[in-house]
Amino acid sequence: MANLSTTYMGLKLKNPIIASSSGLTNSVKDIIALEEKGVAAVVTKSLFEEEIILETEENLNRMHASGFVYPETSEYFDFDRMEDTVSNYLKFLSDSKKSVKIPIIASINCVTSEGWTDFTKRIEDTGVDGLELNIFSLPVNFSDANASNDQVYSDIIGKITNVSKLPISLKIGFYHTNLGYFIKHISHSPTKAIVLFNRFYNPDFDIYTLQFTSSHVLSTPAEGAMSLRWVAVMANRVSCDLSASTGIHDGPAVIKQLLAGAKTVQLCSTLYRNGNNQIGLILNELEKWMKENDYSTIDEFRGKMSQSKTFDPKVFERVQFMKYMRNMD
């Protein structure tokens, strides 16, 4: 039998499949169901930085006074129940940890390094195995050519590691100047893993009502190309693990990400579309492919198709592009 085990963020996983943060990982019951279907770890639904900061009335008043709470966003938060939200989340984490054997990775969606990072200690006290930070930082300063949001990543990591020993992973988007340099830069210790990539919520609007709507909440398999490219480019060039995310829907997509160099693969849209049985199908396909190709462990083939293993990356990409364009007509 093929051995599917792997390590990730210093954790031992029975296979490379992780249920990524979403509404499917928002209750103990759902996490138990995911474990039963075979996932090796779960990233819980995110708690928002704003929810942590606004836990106390004192902070809430201070933030209103300083203008941090925008009228546009305040309607989305039920300030009276904020304290419950945070204590419920902590209880959910410790209950989840007690209910399953697989590692539980908590998740925080944040935009700044101010006012919330000490909270990580309370997350660590729940007994969870790691923390994934979804840093939602879009480059929207159009008046400064050198403006960069990149510093916030190092600031957050620095502050968190002052108060907690939890292994930290960073879930990032691809809107960065010099993406490869940025990924390499943030991969240094103490970051244990980088998740490539977060899929941003895509805004849309109704042409008759002119109201904003949500569009394409779930990904398509075609979206997996972006993650596959960057996992392949960065594998063996970073100082931490890489986890692939976005557009990974079936067994071949998982195998490709491992061949590109990913340590783990995160699933979300495919579980919404196909249900949790998809996990077993993917694991069977992975095992079958490993047997057919005489691999007994994942390490025997991980990264075989990464860019660093090709003879000359620049020439390789150019040749593939030329071949493709010639065959178009």
Which residues are near ligand FMN by CB under 6 A? Answer: 20-23, 45-46, 107, 109, 134, 171, 198-199, 217-219, 245-248, 267-269
Report the residue number, 173 or 261, with the smaller CB distance to ligand FMN.
173
Q: Where are the beta strands (DSSP E) in 44-165?
A: 47-48, 104-110, 130-135
What minimum distance in Å lies between the beta carbon of 47 and ligand FMN? 8
- If the CB atoms of residues 225 and 322 are measured against ligand FMN, the closer one turns out to be 225
Rounded (5°) CA angle 29-133-185: 150
Helix (H) or strand (E) holding 234: helix 224-234
Token pair of 220 as six digits:
């398509």
Identify which of residues 2 and 262 has a Cβ nearer to ligand FMN in the complex. Answer: 262
Smallest separation, CB 68 to ligand FMN (Å): 21
Nearest approach, Cβ of residue 77 and ligand FMN (Å): 15
2-31 in b/e burial notation, b at 16+ Cβ within 10 A?
bebebebbebebbbbbbbbbbebbeebebb
Distance separating alpha carbons of residues 168 and 161, to the nearest angstrom: 9
In the complex with ligand FMN, the residue whose CB is nearer, 2 or 123, is 123
Gyration radius (Cα) of the chain, Å = 21
CB 227 within 8 A of CB 165: no
Q: Are 23 and 42 in contact (CB under 8 A)?
A: no
Min. distance of Cβ 277 from ligand FMN in angstroms? 16
* Shortest distance, position 208 Cβ to ligand FMN, whole Å: 26
Give me the residues paired with residue 108 across strands. 47, 133
Closest distance of CB 62 from ligand FMN, Å = 26
User: Is the Cβ of residue 195 or residue 305 nearer to ligand FMN in the bound state?
Assistant: 195
Is the Cβ of residue 209 or residue 214 nearer to ligand FMN in the bound state? 214
Can you say whether residue 206 is alpha, beta or left, with left for phi > 0 and alpha for psi between -120 and 50 degrees? Answer: beta
Neighbouring CB atoms inside 10 A of 66's CB total: 8
Can you tell me the distance from the alpha carbon of 89 to that of 47, in angstroms, rounded to the nearest whole number?
7
Q: Minimum distance between the CB of residue 247 and ligand FMN, rounded to whole angstroms?
A: 5
> Quick one: tokens of 319?
């040749």
Q: Between 171 and 295, whose beta carbon lies closer to ligand FMN?
A: 171
DSSP SS3 for 177: coil
For residues 287 and 16, what is the distance between their CA atoms, to the nearest angstrom? 12
Q: Which is nearer to ligand FMN, 2 or 107 (CB)?
A: 107
DSSP letters along 116-152, please?
A: -GGGHHHHHTTT-SEEEEEE-------S-TT--STHH
Question: 19: closest CA among 7, 2, 36?
Answer: 36
Q: Please state the closest distance from residue 148 (CB atom) to ligand FMN, in A.
A: 22
Taking CA atoms, 245 is separated from 68, 86, 154, 176, 272, in Å, by: 31, 27, 22, 17, 15
Instruction: State which residue, 246 or 264, has the beta carbon closest to ligand FMN.
Output: 246
Please report how close the Cβ of residue 245 comes to ligand FMN at its closest, in angstroms.
5
